[in-house]
Structure 1
Amino acid sequence: MSSTQSTFKKALRYMCTTHFWGPVSNFGIPVAAVMDLNKDPELISGPMTGSLILYSLVFMRYSLAVTPKNYLLFGCHFVNEVAQLGQGYRWLRYHYDGKEQKAVEAAK
């Protein structure tokens, strides 16, 4: 058996595990979060964003604690962490920094 066939079999075996499909199916969360970065900040849920920030931190840690390390899971949650932090920043800015602007707009 050649080295290429052996590598292919290892890749195929890996692709048939939850170590692969778990992170792949989970990538919908960070994709949605990145796409939501363009939406109105009024639609952002502060508690949900906070929960997703903690969730991704926990699973980033978990992905490196398991054997073998699951770098695909880490990448998925790293992207989600960055996107959720962006959403959290937008939520904080809208609800706390934007109060003066809201009062001016409401007075018009």
Structure 2
Amino acid sequence: MAASKIQALWNHPAGPKTIHFWAPTFKWGISIANVADFAKPPEKISYPQQVAVACTGLIWSRYSTVITPKNWNLFSVNVAMAGTGIYQLSRKIRHDYFSEVEEVPAKE
């Protein structure tokens, strides 16, 4: 049974013998880097970068459900990209607009 599943994956039109497998696989690096950036202070997060990551994830997640053959690797990496981008944007927005700013007393 395991051999037949491996054989089916190997011969799938979006399997490891095609770019349709390797492009999304390498795209996981963007999501992994974004997860690593969760430790970054929010003031160092870039709005344009995270908007691009989130929008790319959302757009390509939708696209990956309407193409033939279904490419679930492409779908999952783009859901991860959208999720990490939205999370980073929420961190940045909370920091910029909803955090309490401590006032520094002026020196006399």
TM-score range, shorter chain: 0.7 to 0.9
Matched, 1:72 2:73: yes
Cα shift at 1:47: 1.7
Alignment of 1:1-108 (within 5 A): 7-13=5-11, 14-98=15-99, 100-101=100-101, 103-104=102-103, 107=104
What is the TM-score of this pair, normalised by structure 2? Answer: 0.83
CA distance in 2, matches of 1:36, 1:22: 22
Aligned residues: 102
Q: Name the SS of the counterpart of 2:40 in structure 1.
A: coil
Q: Give unmatched runs, 5+ long, in structure 1.
A: none
Task: Give identity over the alignment, percent.
Answer: 31
Q: Which amino acid aligns with 1:10?
A: A
Higher helix proportion? 1
Cα shift at 1:27: 0.5
C-alpha RMSD of matched pairs (Å): 1.8
CA distance in 2, matches of 1:71, 1:87: 24
Q: Which amino acid aligns with 1:57?
A: L
Q: Name the SS of the counterpart of 1:27 in structure 2.
A: helix
CA distance in 2, matches of 1:29, 1:47: 15
CA distance in 2, matches of 1:60, 1:73: 7
CA distance in 2, matches of 1:90, 1:41: 6
Q: Give per-residue Cα distances to partners, 1:8-29, cap 9 Å, x unaligned.
A: 4433332111121111011101
